[in-house]
Amino acid sequence: MVYLVGAGPGDVGLLTLKACELLQAADVVIYDRLADDAILNLCSAAKKIYVGKSAGKHTLKQSEINQLLVEEARQNKIVVRLKGGDPFVFGRGGEEALFLRENNLPFEIVPGVTSAVAVPAYAGIPVTHRGIATSFAVVTGHEDPTKSESSINWQKISTAVDTLIFLMGVANLPQIVSKLIEHGRNPNTPAALIRWGTKSAQEVLITTLAEAPHAKILPPAIFVVGEVVNLREQLKWFESRPLFGKKILVTRARTQASKLSRALKNFGAEVVECPTIKIVEPSDNFRQLDAAIKNLHDFDWVIFTSANGVEKFFGRLKLHKLDARALNKVAAIGAVTAEKLSSFGIIADVVPKDFVAESLAAALKNFVGGKKILLARAEEARDVLPEALKNFGAEVTIAPAYQTLPEVPAQIDFDSVDLVTFTSSSTVKNFVAAHGVEVLKKISSAAIGPITAQTLEGFGVSPAVVAEKFTIDGLVEAIKNFYGR
């Protein structure tokens, strides 16, 4: 089966649910030049073939792309042909579908959100509006160069509709404007050029039809002509978000990055995930943790210092055919760890006000004398908490629940990054090991709390942002405050 899938205008959040499902199921993804490479992360298991086109540079001719679809489909594969915007809006999806039909191969069309409507919307420009515009037309700004003359009926299209949207028209802007004015469109008609629409790099230039050819803007951009452009001043919303235009690096483990990435994106940032750690089983293959779980009834307290520790602990607990009833008293280092415990039906008996080991130790001081404590934590961790508990008279057993290892370094253009976030000391250490401390000294950094900040300072880096509340939400709030919004 071949699926001709629209990838939408750029913002990965505008991808349809069906497109997501197909990308995850695909054996082969044949894709164009996409506005957001994050879309390809959804199809990590598929073979990816780039066939994109840019001005003056075509990876493959259209006939070669058509043949490639046939060749891959005949190998009994699920083939996704991923196209920016919608396959049938200047996407040449019809040509590809016809070629598949000629070769007796099945196909499905999966519409995408077209940039013709979405990009003006992200610029605060409705293509229709009661009392201003009741019609709109979408026109190619880049006709087939082999044609002897234009097939656009300029005489009628110039004044027949209220709003005109030209796609891929920056290079031909002088000719487009000339034709519109020649055939009756008022030179003073409001116009807008929107570059990288729906992305955090979005640029909007408001002008008039006559002045548009003098605009200094590069492709890819959409050209909008009509009175609706005047509504932008009141309706612009996308660029008003507090982190708009900021490129922020997230260094959390790949499996944990989504919450922070989503929060930053919701406030307008462009997020680049650059995981520096991965969460794996402890080096002893859970031997110490399993031994502790077998004797869990002997422990008066079980202490968790991270959500990862909670998740790994309860995974092993289930393997031993035990559940929450096997635990006595439970303590959590902070709100996020306590929240993860609650997902397993456990309400923590102790959660300190400040989410650091020193505060947790102080909160437990009057409860642990003469008690047996099980500390389920990362294999590599500070000894502040177990040492303090021992000083309070507790018998402490440390059982590694997981370990953090360096992730394969990602190739990142650090010159374009505004801020890099760190959510633990291990993310700092592994970032420096992978990319060097000099890179870090050139970029503003944000730390989730004082311990992470101390690790940065140990490398000679003073973090620009340190969260007052040591959670993901607290980190995002601190970043917003840092940018004064």
Strands 53-54 and 136-140: unpaired
List the one residue out of 104, 88, 113, 114 whose CA is nearest residue 2. 104
Tokens coding 191: 């116009």
Alpha-carbon 159 to chain mean position: 41
At residue 94, the 3 state secondary structure works out as helix
The single residue listed with the structure tokens 């610029």 is 123
Alpha-carbon 356 to chain mean position: 29
Q: What are 462's strand-pairing partners?
A: none
Q: What is the 3-state secondary structure (H, E, C) of 100-119?
A: HHHCCCCEEEECCCCHHHHH
Q: What are 206's strand-pairing partners?
A: 192
Cβ contacts of residue 72 below 8 Å, gap of 6+?
A: 28, 30, 49, 79
Positive/negative CA dihedral, 101, 107, 111, 115: negative
List the one residue out of 53, 40, 468 whose CA is nearest residue 220. 53
- What are the catalytic residues? 32, 53, 168
At residue 68, the 3 state secondary structure works out as helix
Distance (Å) of CA 174 to CA 73, 169, 170, 206, 210: 43, 9, 9, 16, 9
**CA gap 366, 384 in Å, rounded:** 17
Cβ contacts of residue 432 below 8 Å, gap of 6+?
A: 440, 459
**Taking each helix axis from N to C terminus, what angle separates 335-342 and 307-319, rounded to the nearest 10 degrees?**
30
Burial of 290 (0-12, 13-18, 19+ CB in 10 A): middle
Cβ contacts of residue 162 below 8 Å, gap of 6+?
A: 128, 132, 133, 134, 135, 136, 226, 227, 228
Q: Tell me the CB-side half-sphere exposure of residue 451, using CA atoms within 13 A.
A: 17
Tokens coding 459: 């490398």
φ, ψ of residue 105 to 5 degrees: the values are: -110, 140
Other CB atoms within 10 A of residue 276 CB: 28
